[in-house]
C-alpha cells in the first residue's frame, strides 16, 4: 500500500453520520427546573426565536420541545452545516458579525476558538457557569477552557469513548474470547492481539484496516500539545505504538481496505473485517453496512489497556448574539436538566446526568442484546478528554504524514518521533510564538 493511499485514509474526517448520535436527546418528561441564580441574565419580554448552528441534524426536536415546555416564549431554529465545513463557517461568521445565537462545536475543532475574541466567557457574570464545574470531570472541564486557561468558552453536552467492535462469532470459532470483558482483558497484552490477528488472517479475516490505525488508540488518550504548546507525543508510549504498527506491517495483519467506500463495506459484510475501532455510534454504522449480521457483532474496550476519548459536542455562546440570555437558558437546560432524562444512548458530559437506570438497561439488538450504554458509561468514566489547541489542526496533518511514511519505511520509532517534533517546530514555530505572546498578555 502506497504511503499516499495510507495517508488519505489515516487523515480522513469522520462523516457527519458518525457524529450524529452524540447529541441525540430523547426526553420522556422534564423535571422541575431549579430556581435560577440571582444573577441570571434577564430574559427579553415577548416571543423570541433563537438560531442555533450545528453540524448534525438528529435529536434536536425532542430537546427543543422539552425546553419549550418550560419556556414557551422561546423557540429554536436549527441550521445544520456539513461537518467538513462548519468550523470555518463559524469562524467567518464570528469575524463578520453574522453569527447566530448558539454554536454547537465538536471537540476536534474546539481549539480553533480557544484564542479568539467573539465568544462569551461562561465563567463571568451573568452566566457564572463555574457553579457547575464539580459536575464535570477535570479533564472535560479543562478541555472547555481557552488556551490561556482563563475563560470557559464552551459548555459540553455529550462525550464519547473509543471502542473495539468485533465479530464475536468469528473470534469464538477460532478459539479467542468472545465476551466483551474477557476480550478486553485478553487484548491488554499486545502479543495476544497480534496472535489473534495472525490466526484470523489464516481464515481471511483482519483485526485492523491499516497498520497505523492502532496509533489512533494512543492518540485518543494523549493531546498533541499542553497549554504552553509543548509537544506531548515524544514518549515511550508512542514509541510502543509505532513499534506495534510496524509489526502489523511486517506480518501483513492489516486488511488495506477503507470501510468508508463500497469495497470496505463489502469487506465488513463478508467477514474480511473482523474488528473496527469506532465511537459510540459504531454499532449504528456497522448495522447500516451489514444489517444481515445482526447478533454477530459486539463492543469492547480498546486493546492494550487503553481508554481512549473519541469526541465531545459542546455549546458556544457568540458575544454578538442578540438574545444571549435566552440562548444561555437553552444551553443550561440542555446540559444540566434535559440530559438527566437520557440522550438517546449518548453519554452526558454532565456527571449528575449519568447513571440513568433506564439508559443503563438499554440493550442493542444488533449487538446481540448487549447493554452497550452501560459499557459506554463505564469507559467514559475511565477516559480523559483531550485538550485541543489552535495548533492542532496543522500539527496533526504534519504528524499523520510523517507517521504513515515512517511506519512504511520501518524507521526507528524514537528517531521518527524526534523528527516529527522538529518538523512541527520548524513549520509552526512562528504560529506558536504568536499564540504564546497572546496567551501571556491575557
The Cα–Cα gap between 265 and 260 comes to 7
Q: What is the pLDDT of residues 96-122, one digit of tens each?
A: 999 999 999 999 999 999 999 999 999
Nearest Cα residue to 353 out of 107, 167, 157: 157
**In the predicted model, what is the mean pLDDT of the chain?**
91
pLDDT of amino acid 35: 40
DSSP state letters, 159-216: EEE-EEEEEHHHHHHTTS--SHHHHHHHTTSHHHHHHHHHHHHHTT-BSBSSTTTTHH
| Residue 6 covered by a domain | no
Range of the domain at 114: 21-159+311-372
Q: What is the pLDDT of residues 137-186, one digit of tens each?
A: 999 999 999 999 999 999 999 999 999 999 999 999 999 999 999 999 99
| Residue 410 covered by a domain | no
Number of domains in the chain: 1
This prediction's pTM: 0.87
pLDDT band of residue 221 (cuts 50, 70, 90) is confident
CATH number at residue 27: 3.40.190.10
Q: Which residues contact 283 (CB under 8 A, 6 or more apart)?
A: 165, 297, 299, 364, 366, 367, 372
pLDDT of amino acid 46: 54
| Residue 84 covered by a domain | yes
| Residue 330 covered by a domain | yes
Q: What is the pLDDT of residues 323-369, one digit of tens each?
A: 999 999 999 999 999 999 999 889 999 999 999 999 999 999 999 99
pLDDT at residue 91 is higher than 70: yes
| Residue 438 covered by a domain | no
| Residue 351 covered by a domain | yes
Amino acid at each position: 500500500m502506497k504511503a499516499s493511499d495510507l495517508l488519505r485514509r489515516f487523515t480522513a474526517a469522520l462523516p457527519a453520520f458518525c457524529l450524529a448520535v452524540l447529541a441525540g436527546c430523547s426526553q420522556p418528561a422534564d423535571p422541575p427546573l431549579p430556581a435560577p441564580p440571582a444573577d441570571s441574565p434577564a430574559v427579553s419580554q415577548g416571543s423570541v426565536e433563537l438560531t442555533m448552528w450545528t453540524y448534525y441534524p438528529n435529536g434536536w426536536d425532542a430537546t427543543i420541545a422539552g425546553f419549550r415546555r418550560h419556556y414557551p416564549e422561546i423557540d429554536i431554529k436549527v441550521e445544520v452545516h456539513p461537518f467538513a465545513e462548519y468550523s470555518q463557517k463559524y469562524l467567518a461568521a464570528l469575524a463578520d458579525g453574522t453569527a447566530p445565537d448558539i454554536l454547537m462545536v465538536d471537540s476536534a475543532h474546539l481549539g480553533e476558538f480557544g484564542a479568539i475574541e467573539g465568544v462569551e466567557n461562561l465563567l463571568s457574570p451573568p452566566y457564572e457557569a463555574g457553579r457547575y464545574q464539580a459536575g464535570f470531570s477535570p479533564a472535560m472541564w479543562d478541555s472547555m477552557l481557552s488556551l490561556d486557561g482563563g475563560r470557559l468558552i464552551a459548555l459540553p453536552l455529550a462525550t464519547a469513548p473509543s471502542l473495539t467492535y468485533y465479530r464475536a462469532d468469528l473470534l469464538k470459532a477460532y478459539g479467542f474470547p468472545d465476551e466483551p470483558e474477557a476480550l478486553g482483558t485478553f487484548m491488554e497484552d499486545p502479543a495476544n492481539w497480534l496472535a489473534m490477528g495472525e490466526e484470523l488472517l489464516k481464515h481471511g479475516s483482519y483485526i485492523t484496516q491499516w497498520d497505523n490505525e492502532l496509533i489512533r488508540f494512543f492518540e485518543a488518550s494523549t493531546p498533541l500539545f499542553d497549554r504552553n504548546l509543548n509537544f506531548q507525543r515524544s514518549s515511550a508510549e508512542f514509541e510502543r505504538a509505532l513499534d506495534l504498527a510496524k509489526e502489523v506491517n511486517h506480518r501483513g495483519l492489516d486488511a488495506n481496505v477503507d470501510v468508508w467506500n463500497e469495497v470496505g463495506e463489502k469487506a465488513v459484510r463478508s467477514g474480511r473485517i473482523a474488528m473496527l475501532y469506532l465511537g459510540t455510534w459504531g454499532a449504528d454504522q456497522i448495522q447500516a453496512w451489514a444489517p444481515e449480521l445482526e447478533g454477530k457483532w459486539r463492543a469492547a474496550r480498546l486493546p492494550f489497556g487503553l481508554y481512549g476519548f473519541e469526541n465531545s459536542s459542546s455549546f458556544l455562546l457568540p458575544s454578538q448574539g442578540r438574545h444571549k440570555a435566552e440562548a444561555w437558558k437553552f444551553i443550561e437546560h440542555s446540559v444540566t436538566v434535559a440530559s438527566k432524562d437520557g440522550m438517546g444512548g449518548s453519554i452526558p458530559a454532565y456527571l449528575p446526568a449519568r447513571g440513568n437506570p433506564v439508559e443503563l438497561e438499554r440493550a442493542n439488538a444488533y449487538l446481540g442484546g448487549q447493554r452497550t450504554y452501560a459499557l459506554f458509561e463505564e469507559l467514559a468514566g475511565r477516559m480523559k478528554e483531550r485538550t485541543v489547541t489552535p495548533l492542532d489542526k496543522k500539527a496533526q496533518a504534519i504528524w499523520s504524514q510523517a507517521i504513515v511514511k515512517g511506519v512504511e519505511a520501518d524507521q526507528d520509532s524514537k528517531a521518527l518521533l524526534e523528527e516529527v517534533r522538529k518538523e512541527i517546530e520548524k513549520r509552526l514555530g512562528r504560529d506558536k510564538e504568536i499564540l504564546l505572546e497572546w496567551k501571556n498578555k491575557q
